[in-house]
Every structure is written in structure tokens, then in C-alpha cells.
Structure 1
Amino acid sequence: MSAADAKAQKRQKFEAVFAKLRDELLEHFAAQGMPEDAQKWYRRNLEYNVPGGKLNRGLSVVDTVEILKGRSLTEDEYFKAALLGWCVELLQAFFLVSDDMMDQSITRRGQPCYYRVENVNLIAINDSFMLEMAIYYLIKSHFRSEPCYINLVELFLETTYQTEIGQLIDLITAPEDHVDLSKFSLQKHQLIVIYKTAYYSFYLPVALAMYMCGIPHASSGSSGTDPYALAKSILVPLGEYFQVQDDFLDFAGTPEQIGKVGTDIIDNKCSWCVNTALAQATPAQRAVLDANYGRKDAQAEARVKALYEEMGIRGIYEEYEEAAYKRIMGLIETIPETPVAKPGEVVLKREVFKSFLGKIYKRQK
């Protein structure tokens, strides 16, 4: 079987679990005596917003559980790992529905943003809340009697709060309709990226898998590093590197390559590229950025891109990428190569992080 076929089959298996979870949520909803039109509405909300993306975050939970257990999963283990993966996708859907309203975006995943669907409009606010709360219904339904239950709930709550903090900093730093580059800096960019992306896209899927596999926190007074703190110390820089790469591809990648037209310059995004340019711009170069960044004008965008080329942003990015790769590999190597595990015990493995880094390093889309 080719790698592409294996990937498609893996996705198909994961998507089959969504159908079961959707039906479970709808059955519970109907059992509350909800009217037929509300049932149809909730179904459309779930189907329109949850399953259509790349599903990387959700599939990462399943992949990590398999790596940690070091074997194929039983049917029940697969279902539970996939359920947690779909809870991450529900969280993502909650963020995207609300984020698109805040940004007044037009399309998402090749279709109109949900709030722009006929008759939805501001009802999308409540629909986003329902997507979020479906997470806690499903976790309670399937993990209530498991030792990891409260850890799963607390992890989702903490990660949601972190992401909302990141969103606030982003919204007040780079509003689309008011350009003020004095608010931008590489430090601000790093803060936004860590809170808005790294925690929920990278740490959350791995920590969920670790809890499901029964990996304990280090006991107080123990000499070893807490495995969750260790995982976070690797995954947050990994998430930061991923977002810098995304920002760079928005500028340097072609639509054929990245599957979309880059809009960070026109949308006044607090991107790594503009912050890197600002950090070393001469007064004349800064004037070009002030006059052209964040303008809804193709010529202004072209002037900013030309300035990026003149300032050597491509070369700076290549240096950044190599340094980030070495730094992350160094962090991964702090995990014992052959961890000592008691019979039946699951311990953290380097392979979890290497598989993430392998998917990201030098990616072109």
C-alpha cells in the first residue's frame, strides 16, 4: 500500500468515529425533548464545522497513543484515542467559528464561514458554545470512571483559556482596520504564537495521549523531571517553529504549493516576516512598511514583498529553521533513549516528538 493510500485509510477510520460521536450527541440532544428543527440545526452545526479540516491535531492523539503503547491499539483503545482526537477537533471548530466572526472572514476550508451561511448570522455565537460543550459531554460519557478523567477535563479547560488569551493579544495588537506597527515585535509575536497556537495544536494532543496511557506526573520531591513539563518544553518551541514556518510560507509559498493565497500582509497580521523586517529596518525601510503594510491594495502588498526580498527574509528564515531544528532535537535528546519501564507501564518516548518534527521540518505547504 502506498503512503498516500495508508494516509487516506487512516483518515477514513478516524472519520468513522466522528459519525458515531455525532450520532451520540444528537441522540442525547433529542432525549432532552428538543424539537425537530433544533435537532436539524445542531446536526448541521456539527457536520459543517467539525470534520472538514486536515484533522492533524485529532490524528496526532491517536498516533501518540500508538507510539507510547508501542503496539496496535485494541478496538476500545482506538475508539477512546479517536474520541479525544475529535474533542481536539471540536475545540478547533469552536475557535474557528468564533474567530471567523471576529475577523469578519469570508471563507473557511473552501466554503462560506459558518456565520455567513443562510439564517445563521449571530446564532453562530451560541453554536460555537455548543461545539465547545460537546467536548465535556463526550469526555464525561466515556472517561468518567477512568483515573485520568479530571486531568482530561482540566487540560481542555486550561488549554482553552490559554488560547483565548493568545487570541486577545492578537486582536488588540493587529486589528485588521487599524495599522500600528509600533505595537509589533518579535517578542509579541512569540507570545501570541505560544498562547494562540502552540498549546492547543501541539501540547494538547500529546498530553491527552499521555493521560490516556496512564503516564503519571512526577511526584513532588522526586528527582526526575515531570514528563508533562518535559513534553511541554519540547512541544511549545515546536509549535512556535511551525507558526513561523506558516508565516514564512504565507509570504514565500505559491498558491499551488500551499493551497491558498497568502494574505498576512494585506490583513495586517502580526507575522514573523514583518516583525523580522521591523527588527532590522533602516528608517527608509520602516517608512515603506508604515506606508504599505496592512493596506487592502495589491501594489502596497507588492512593495512590502519586494522589501522582504531586499532585506533577505528568505535567508534569515533558512538560518532560523536550522537553528530551531537543532534546538528542538537537543531538547528531544534529553529524554532517555531507552526509558526504563516497569511491566505494563507506559513512559515518554523520543519517537513521539521526532514524528512531529519529521512532519514539519522543511515542509513546503
Structure 2
Amino acid sequence: MAVLDDMRRPAPALDVVPPPAAPDLAAVRREVDAALATFLDAKEQSAPGPELPSLIAQLRTFLAGGKRLRPLLCVCGWYAGGGAGDHAPAVRAAAGLELFQAFALIHDDVMDASDTRRGQPSAHRALAAAYTANGGPADRAEEHGLGAAVLLGDLALIWSDELLHGASLTVRSPEQVLPLLDEMRSEVLYGQYLDLQTTGRLSDDVDTAVQVIRYKTAKYTVERPLHIGAALAGATAGVDASLSAFALPLGEAFQLRDDLLGVFGDPLETGKSVLDDVRAGKATVLMALAAQRASRRELRSLRARFGRRGLTERDAAVVRSILESTGARQAVEEMIRTRRDQALTALDNAPFPAGARAALRDIAGSATARQA
């Protein structure tokens, strides 16, 4: 009877920890960093010669200090799409997106002739310095740095592809993921080309400036990472539509904030000079609004300084004064608020788990109110 009584007793509860209902954003950052370190360690160990590890070291340096916004959104997309259990595929894809971002930024700095990135010398500058430090002739340093940076960006792109495709192969429906990767890459290159086409031209065309940030930033930085994470979780088309309703206004607000920081930010916080955007002649929404509203005298003053390679801090102060007096700065602040509110409203009505909505709400706040 004792045996029967034992059989009737309920089995003791197993100590099973349920999967988290929402992403822990700080933990996700650590997981992505660990995935990147592990991946680069393996590449370094299998390097065909002694030259590649030095290039990998430069890539590690470049990756340090990034905001990891795209990886965070990718993992949030996994949860928003109903992902449960081990989110390792989303973390692997997230690491791939960070490598893709490294590719884009390294090439962007080459195109813009930027000297700094994240408070450090840009990749082409660092590679040029390393070349001379290792005995290379000084008169070839700049040429070497540019060429090596293009190759470093290409390497980051190739390895990004390896991580992203590897992540897609671990889920049941890779055919849902791979087309998103193709679209993301095409969209960001289109946005970069639009940016290149408009750079150096002071224009009052706000619509074109918004189109640039839609493709260069909003879709690539926010929408596609969310879509890729959701696809890895097997989400439905309805989830994708809700993610887009949140992502596109938030992505535009993120870039608008970036444009303000590029002129009014603190270089110690942003890691970039406040002269770069004006000196490069970036045709931002901020500059287009100023051109629309400027008096003839102000417009002449802007044209004399916009895109000028020899721009000084005194020149930049004049430009900032015009951006203030025309109301362009305040108008961009209002555009940021409007788009952030639009994104949050879309989030309130989205069919996501509550924890995913909370994480995305946190990201929306930090992405639009940041100082770096």
C-alpha cells in the first residue's frame, strides 16, 4: 500500500526556469559582444598568415564602443514575433548585423574623409598610422590606409554574411529570413548613394532629405533588424506590419537626432567633430529647413560655408547661429517628438508580448533623447 500511496502522490515540481518574457537589454549586449569575440577568435586562429590577425585587431578596436542598437532590435524582434526558448539564433544574427554596421561605417568614413569615429581615429586613419609605425614610407601612408580600410570593410561584410546565413540555417524557415537580408543590403546602399548624390549641395528640398534618412537609416537601422529577428522566430506578416509602423518613424527620429548632434553635439560624447557634417556638405533635413527659411543674407552666409573643406570653428559657429535663428533646429526637435510619439502609439496597438513592447519603448526613448 505504501508503494501505491507513493504513486498517487504528485511528482515533485521540476526546477525549470521558464524562458524570459522579455529581452534583458544589458544581457543581450553582453551576449552579442561575446558572440563577436568568439567568432573573431576563431577567425584569428584559422588565419592563413600573420597579416590577417593585425586586420582583425583593427576590426575589434572598431567594434568596441558601439551602441549595439541593431543587435538589440534584432533580439527584440525575436520576442515581438513570439520567439520562445533559446534566443541564440537571434543573438548570432544580431552579431552579424553589428559586423554589417562596421562594414557600412568603415566605408562611410572613407567616402566622407572622416578623421574620427567613436572618439578614436577612423579605420583608414588608424591603418595609415599602423603602416608607418611598421616601417612603411610616410608618403604612401594615406593611400595604404584608404585601401586597407576598403578591404577591412569588405571583410566585415563577408563575415557578417557568414553569421547571418548561419543564424538562418538554425531555424525552420530560412526562406523567410534570407530575402530580408537582401532587401536590407540593397536599401542601405541605395540610401548611401542618395546621400552621396546630395552631398555638397545646399538645397531646401526637405522631402529628398527625408527620403535619404528613410533608406540610409530608418529601414536599415530599425525596421530590418526587427523584421529579421521576427522572421527567425517564425512571425506572421501581421507582426511585420506592426513592426514597420513602429520602426520607420523611430528610425527617422533617430537620424534626425544624429543630424542635430552632428552640428550641436559635444564631441566628447559623440566621438565625432561637430565640423564634419557641415564641412562635408551633408544635405540633412536640418540644413534643408534652414535653406527654406533663411533670409538672403543668411543664405549667402550658409552657401559660403557649407561643404567648405577649410571650415573653421568660427565658421561652424556662424552656421549654428543661422540654424537657431531660422528655427531649423527647433523644427527638427519637433519632428523628432512627432515621430517618437507616432512610434509609441503604434507600439501601444501592436500584437506583441508585453515584455517586448516594454523593451522597445525603452529603446525608443534612448534612441531619440541621446547625447551620443
TM-score by length of 1: 0.79
Deviation (angstroms), 1:280:
1.9
**86-95 or 349-358: which moved more?**
349-358
Give the 5 Å matches for 1:137-176. 137-144=162-169, 146-175=171-200
Unmatched 5+ stretches in structure 2? 1-23, 132-143
- Write the distance in 2 (CA, Å) between the matches of 1:255 and 1:139: 33
**1:299 aligned residue (311, 314, 317):** 314
The answer to whether the 8 A contact 1:21-1:83 is kept is no
1:124: which partner in 2? 149
Cα distance change, pair 297–146 in 1 and its aligned pair in 2 (3 A): same
- Provide the residue aligned with 1:199 in structure 2: 219
Q: Which amino acid aligns with 2:49?
A: E
User: In structure 2, what is the Cα distance between the partners aligned to 1:257 and 1:316?
Assistant: 23
Q: Judge conservation of contact 1:57–1:201 (CA < 8 Å) in 2.
A: yes
Q: Which residue type is aligned with residue 210 of structure 1?
A: A
Rounded Cα–Cα distance in structure 1 between residues aligned with 2:345 and 2:76: 22
Where does residue 101 of structure 1 map in the other structure?
110
User: By how many angstroms is 1:95 displaced?
Assistant: 0.8
Work out the percentage of aligned pairs sharing the same amino acid. 26
Shift of 1:165: 0.9
Deviation at 1:232, TM superposition (A): 1.9
- SS of the aligned residue for 1:53 comes to coil
Cα-to-partner distance string for 1:156-214 (whole Å, 9 max, x where unaligned): 22111111111111112114xxxx324x5211111110111112210122112101111
Alignment coverage as a number of residue pairs = 330
Equivalent position SS for 1:266? helix
Counterparts of residues 173-184 of structure 1 (less than 5 Å): 173-175=198-200, 180-182=201-203
SS of equivalent residue, structure 2 residue 279: coil
Cross-structure match for 1:271: 284
| Residue 49 of structure 1, aligned match among 62, 70, 90 | 62
Q: In structure 1, list runs of 5 or more residues that go unmatched.
A: 1-5, 218-225, 340-345
Does the alignment pair 1:18 with 2:36? yes
The structure with more radius of gyration: 2
RMSD: 2.9
Q: Return 251-260 or 311-320, whichever deviates more.
A: 251-260
Give me the whole-angstrom Cα distance separating, in 2, the residues matched to 1:261 and 1:103.
13
Determine if contact 2:89/2:171 at 8 Å carries over to the other structure.
no
Residue 129 of structure 1 deviates from its aligned partner by 1.8
Output the CA distance in 1 between the equivalents of 2:175 and 2:354: 20
- Partner amino acid for 2:175? I
The one-letter amino acid paired with 1:253 is G
The equivalent position to 1:81 in structure 2, one of 90, 101, 114, is 90
SS of alignment partner, residue 36 of structure 1: coil
Aligned residue in 1 for 2:140: none
- The aligned counterpart of 1:235 is 247
Do the aligned partners of residues 42 and 265 (structure 1) sit closer, same or farther apart at CA in structure 2, a change above 3 Å counting? closer
For residue 160 of structure 2, the aligned residue among 128, 135, 140 is: 135
Q: For residue 222 of structure 1, what is the aligned residue in structure 2?
A: none
Q: Is the 8 A contact 1:325 1:361 kept in 2?
A: yes
- On the 8 A contact 1:26/1:42 being kept in 2, the answer is no
